[in-house]
């Protein structure tokens, strides 16, 4: 089959590789019809390179048609249309029963002491071949894949794999009171969908902050009040306070993560990691501060006293300095983590209707053949050609 594989920093290629086969009785083979590129893939494209091997197949936002199932997979059958969650969870362990599917104890990666294995997401998360490919081996398929109805186009359901549950969890964890206020940092797919879900769930004031003009404009088109953080962003705190009774918003969602604009030291550490041999770079990333924390520090600064910071952006470094005094003094609640995809599916599915209240049908800006994936990564990273959410069709 053809698959998008990783060859080095900013070097991904579509290669011919062996077709996946059933390895465990809980596996399913899925013929991929749509598969999206995520902001999380951009971390693999560059910063997390030391945790990848040449030939790793990327992609964690796939859907398609079941081709074959292992002997223990009973809820889906060949021919079914399914969306595959990005985290691989068993459905029967303590964590899955607690609604923490991204911490699944059956698939946790003990070698790196990390949570549930993820599709196509480095050695840290199990080095499972990903879904930007013609076919996918879906592990834990007795539980994971979400059966969706025939009829509407793929985009109606595709974002259940990641964007929708991630944004839903970001809003849930933000604990915005009815009619309350939220500032969302980053208006990429995750941040923008978080704005839409916050509005849908009754937030009164939704402020979106980014530096890409088309992204700010797109969010404004959905009734979000936007602020431009390009340059040093020094005017942002005052502007946000002005919009929130001088107090700051009830909640701030960080939908940026470790590659934030405006953190020179983190950028330097990331460059340095890129120059070291893999083993040394892995150690640097896991023991030193390599994150660009501009967005997280801004979130802590913006949130009102007693408010909540909900972090959906991915961070990686282990020794990044945090403003503990400010966090403690302001009595900030901090929640974060990979989305527990299956936990939110029953809340979201009823919204994926012809009325399309969250606007999923028109969410993607690009639909490209798998063969164009290398170019798709380049324009998505460079935020060129209006690339906002790219769906590949193998």
Ligand X SMILES: NC(=O)c1ccc[n+]([C@@H]2O[C@H](COP(=O)([O-])OP(=O)(O)OC[C@H]3O[C@@H](n4cnc5c(N)ncnc54)[C@H](O)[C@@H]3O)[C@@H](O)[C@H]2O)c1
The reply to whether 348 sits near ligand X by the rule CB under 6 A is no
Q: Give 56: exposed, middle or buried? Use CB within 10 Å, 0-12, 13-18, 19+.
A: buried
Q: How far is the CB of 344 from ligand X (least distance, A)?
A: 11
Q: Which of 101, 160, 229, 360 binds ligand X (CB under 6 A)?
A: 229
Stretch binding ligand X (CB under 6 A), from 16-24, 181-189, 198-206, 282-290: 181-189
Residues in CB range of 336: below 8 A, 6 or more apart: 173, 310, 311, 312
CB of 21 to ligand X, least distance (A): 29
Q: Which is nearer to Zn ion, 104 or 229 (CB)?
A: 104
Q: State which H helix or E strand residue 207 sits in.
A: strand 205-210
Q: How far is the CB of 216 from Zn ion (least distance, A)?
A: 22
73 binds, among Zn ion, ligand X, none (CB under 5 to 8 A by kind): none
Who's near 298: CB < 8 A, 6+ residues apart?
185, 209, 229, 233, 236, 237
Among Zn ion, ligand X, none, the one that 156 touches (CB under a kind-dependent 5 to 8 A) is: none
Q: Is 262 in the site for ligand X (CB under 6 A)?
A: yes
Does 131 engage in binding with ligand X (CB under 6 A)? no
The closest of 183, 252, 261, 253 to 224, measured between CA atoms, is 183
Contact string 144-163 vs Zn ion (x = CB under 5 A): ------------------x-
What, of ligand X, Zn ion, none, does residue 106 touch, CB below 5 to 8 Å by kind?
A: Zn ion
List the structure tokens of 122: 């480095």
Backbone angles phi, psi at 198, to 5 degrees: -60, -45
Q: CA triplet 374, 380, 383: central angle to 5 degrees?
A: 140
Alpha-carbon distance of 139 to 285, in angstroms, equals: 28
Q: Which helix (H) or strand (E) holds 216?
A: helix 213-220
Residue among 106 and 181 whose Cβ is closer to Zn ion: 106
Q: How far is the CB of 136 from ligand X (least distance, A)?
A: 18
Burial label, 12 (beta-carbon count in 10 A; 0-12, 13-18, 19+)? buried
Burial group, residue 47, by CB count within 10 angstroms (0-12, 13-18, 19+): buried
CA distances from 17 to 5, 73, 134, 383 (A): 9, 26, 10, 30
Q: Does residue 256 interact with ligand X by CB under 6 A?
A: yes
Q: Which is nearer to ligand X, 129 or 313 (CB)?
A: 313
Check residue 104 for interaction with Zn ion (CB under 5 A): yes
210: partner contacted, choices Zn ion, ligand X, none (Cβ within 5-8 A by kind):
ligand X
List the one residue from 222, 241, 261, 267 that touches ligand X (CB under 6 A). 261
Residues in contact with ligand X by the rule CB under 6 A: 38-40, 42-43, 162, 166, 185-191, 209-212, 215, 229, 255-257, 260-262, 294-295, 312-314, 338-339
């Amino acid at each position: 089959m053809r698959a998008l594989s990783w060859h080095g920093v900013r070097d991904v290629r579509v290669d011919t590789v062996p077709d996946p086969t059933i390895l465990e009785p809980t596996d399913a083979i899925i013929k991929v019809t749509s598969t999206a590129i995520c902001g999380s893939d951009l971390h693999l494209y560059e910063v997390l390179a030391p945790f990848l091997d040449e030939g790793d197949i990327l992609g964690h936002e796939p859907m398609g048609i079941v081709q074959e199932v292992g002997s223990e997979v009973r809820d889906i059958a060949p021919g079914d249309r399914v969306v595959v969650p990005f985290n691989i969870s068993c459905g029967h362990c303590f964590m899955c029963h607690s609604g923490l599917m991204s911490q699944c104890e059956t698939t946790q990666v003990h070698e790196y002491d990390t949570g549930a294995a993820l599709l196509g997401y480095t050695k840290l998360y199990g080095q499972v071949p990903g879904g930007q490919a013609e076919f996918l081996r879906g592990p834990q398929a007795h539980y994971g894949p979400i059966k969706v109805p025939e009829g509407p186009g793929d985009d109606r359901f595709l974002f259940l794999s990641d964007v929708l549950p991630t944004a839903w969890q970001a809003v849930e964890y933000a604990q915005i009171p009815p009619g309350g206020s939220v500032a969302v940092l980053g208006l990429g797919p995750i941040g923008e969908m978080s704005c839409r879900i916050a509005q849908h769930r009754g937030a009164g004031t939704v402020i979106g902050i980014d530096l890409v003009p088309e992204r700010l404009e797109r969010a404004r088109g959905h009734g979000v009040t936007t602020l431009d953080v390009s340059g040093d962003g020094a005017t942002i705190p005052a502007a946000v306070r002005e919009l929130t009774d001088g107090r700051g918003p009830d909640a701030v969602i960080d939908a940026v993560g470790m590659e934030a604009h405006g953190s020179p030291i983190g950028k330097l550490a990331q460059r340095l990691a890129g120059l070291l041999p893999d083993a040394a770079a892995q150690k640097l990333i896991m023991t030193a501060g390599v994150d660009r924390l501009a967005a997280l520090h801004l979130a802590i600064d913006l949130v009102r006293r007693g408010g909540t910071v909900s972090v959906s952006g991915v961070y990686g470094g282990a020794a990044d300095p945090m403003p503990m005094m400010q966090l403690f003094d302001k009595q900030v609640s901090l929640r974060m983590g990979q989305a527990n995809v299956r936990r939110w599916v029953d809340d979201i599915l009823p919204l994926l209707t012809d009325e399309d209240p969250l606007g999923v049908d028109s969410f993607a800006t690009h639909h490209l053949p798998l063969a164009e994936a290398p170019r798709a990564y380049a324009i998505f990273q460079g935020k060129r050609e209006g690339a906002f959410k790219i769906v590949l069709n193998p």
